[in-house]
Amino acid sequence: MKANEDNFISLIKKRREEGIRYVMEEYGGLLQSIVKKRLYGMPDKVEECMNDIFFGIWNNIGSFDPKRSSFKSWAAGVARFQAIDYLRRYGKQLQQESWEEVELSAEDENLNRLVAVSYTHSEPTRRTPISYAVFCLKKKKKRSNIHWCEIYIVTEK
C-alpha cells in the first residue's frame, strides 16, 4: 500500500515501513531544520538525533491525537524535545574541551599564532606586550535572533 497524507498515520500504527518513509520524505526537512537550530554547535549529532526522532515517532504514534494538533505540529514537538535532550546529554562535552584538545589545520598560520599567544597569556586584561589580541563581539540584529561574531587581530608596534 502506498503511503499518502490520508493513510500514513494508520500505516505507522500498523508498523508498516511505508508510513515512516512518508514522514521522512514529507516532514524530514522541517524536522531537520528544528534539530539544526538547537544543535548548531554539534553538527556530528544531527543525524543521530534525526534517527532518534523517527524512532520516537514510530514508537509513540499512539499518543498522537489529531483532535489536539496536526501531525506536523506534533512531530515538530517530538523533534524539539529530542534535540533538547541531546543538548543536555552532549552539551557538557562541548564546554569541557580545552585548548590542548583542539586541533588546527597547518595551513592557517595566523590562527596558530593567535592561539599560541592567547594560550601563553591567559590574562588578556593584564597589560603585557602581546602581539595579538582577539576580541569577539556579539551583535544582535533587532528583528531577528541572528548573532555575529567578529574577530579582530590587533598588532602592537
60-80 pLDDT per residue, tens? 999 999 999 999 999 999 999
pLDDT of residue 91: 79
At residue 10, does pLDDT exceed 80? Answer: yes
At residue 138, does pLDDT exceed 80? Answer: no
At residue 58, does pLDDT exceed 60? Answer: yes
Non-local CB neighbours of 38 within 8 Å, separated by 6+ positions: 80, 83, 84, 86, 87
Please tell me the distance from the alpha carbon of residue 3 to that of residue 9, in angstroms, as a whole number.
9
Does residue 47 contact residue 31 with C-beta atoms inside 8 Å? no
At residue 111, does pLDDT exceed 80? Answer: no
Mean pLDDT of the region 130-145: 39
Mean pLDDT of the region 17-41: 94
Q: Residue ranges of the alpha helices (H) in 1-153?
A: 8-13, 17-38, 46-60, 71-95, 109-120
Better pLDDT: 41 or 148: 41
At residue 156, does pLDDT exceed 90? Answer: no
